[in-house]
Chains A and B, each alone.
Chain A
Amino acid sequence: DTGVSQDPRHKITKRGQNVTFRCDPISEHNRLYWYRQTLGQGPEFLTYFQNEAQLEKSRLLSDRFSAERPKGSFSTLEIQRTEQGDSAMYLCASSYSGDSDTQYFGPGTRLTVL
């Protein structure tokens, strides 16, 4: 299967710890997106990359959040000093600029901060 993959699928951590999530996009996709979704809500945009360049970052993304896409392939999202309010599903999506940028999503990483 060549869809978007995310790792880990579930993460439980204690408040104050750092966590890192990985996303592998569909191979020919040049854009990669991170969203956060809490229960009963639609996803909210965090950031996106075109190749290795981070082109947009939400004002919702505090300084504790950082994302990278070092070689324009996979991406990592790190949350430092986690807080209980960070508990959510973190979704990754990818798109190809020649396909009207239709975004295809991975299965998500569910983060629980105790």
Chain B
Amino acid sequence: AQTVTQSQPEMSVQEAETVTLSCTYDTSESNYYLFWYKQPPSRQMILVIRQEAYKQQNATENRFSVNFQKAAKSFSLKISDSQLGDTAMYFCAFTTHAGNNRKLIWGLGTSLAVNP
């Protein structure tokens, strides 16, 4: 079965500090894509960062970076210099491209609160 586990239902961080959200996944496929999305309260799902499994280099997008450990099937998100606008639900997800499959498999999310 393909699954995503986010072990931290809720987290909080002080503004300007760094926080890491954890994610582990399970798939038997060798080629897949990993994503972090954020969903602010009552707002739409926004792509934060993506990682192709065949790339060893960790993806970065401004203050957001990932620690991708393929052997451990781990894909954590680091947010540096946290801002109040980072307050949101963060979802880890992946998709394989086996056959016609393109659906995203999602974790349950981590609710992040950035405190002033």
Contacts and interface: CB of A to CB of B under 8 A. Distances in A.
A and B together in one complex: yes
Interface of A: 31, 33, 35, 40-45, 48, 50, 55-56, 58, 91, 93, 95, 100-108
Interface in B60-109: 91, 93, 95, 97, 100-104, 106-109
25 contacts: A31-B102, A33-B104, A42-B4, A42-B91, A43-B45, A43-B91, A43-B106, A45-B104, A48-B102, A48-B103, A55-B100, A56-B101, A56-B102, A91-B45, A100-B33, A101-B33, A102-B33, A102-B47, A102-B50, A103-B35, A105-B45, A105-B46, A106-B44, A108-B44, A108-B45
Given A43-B106, A56-B102, A102 B44 contact: no
Given A40-B109, A58-B103, A100-B52, 6 more contacts: A42-B93, A56-B100, A56-B102, A100-B50, A101-B97, A108-B45
B110 to A, nearest CB: 11
A56 B101 CA distance: 7
Chain B CB count within 10 A is highest, among A42, A93, A105, for A42
Give the size category of B's interface with A: 20 to 34
Given A106-B44, A107-B44, A101 B35 contact: no
